[in-house]
Amino acid sequence: MPETVLQVDDLKTYFFTEAGVVRAVDGVSFSLAKGKPLGLVGESGSGKTVTALSVLGVVPRPGRIVSGRILFKGENLLEKTEDEMRGFRGKRIGYVSQDPNSSL
């Protein structure tokens, strides 16, 4: 059985605005096995980008991860400091956005 590289459990990332709370990611769970592709597919505004930004720990304000668990090779990314994540991003984990106009 392939090693699980990334495990996301019940991830919730909300944006707290003057107009109210936007639940951009509300209970997302998935796992990524070593050597296996994973695609996040959904309609515009469905939370794909916010999910990826949450995994990397770079959710823009006024958003924040309110609950869940993000494990990368067994390490809980939500317990890392910003300095630890800065050294982690780009070296051990990354994100490549895709321009939808050129992908189809």
Given a cut of 80, whether residue 69 has pLDDT beyond it is yes
Of 64, 58, 71, the closest CA to residue 29 belongs to: 71
Class of domain 4-103: alpha beta
Match 């895709």 to its residue by tokens: 98
Sheet strands (E) in the chain: 4-17, 20-33, 63-72, 75-76
Percent of the chain topping pLDDT 90: 68
Residues 19-29 pLDDT 10s = 999 999 999 99
Domain boundaries defined on the chain: 4-103
Cα angle value 36/42/46 (rounded, 5°): 120
Given a cut of 60, whether residue 4 has pLDDT beyond it is yes
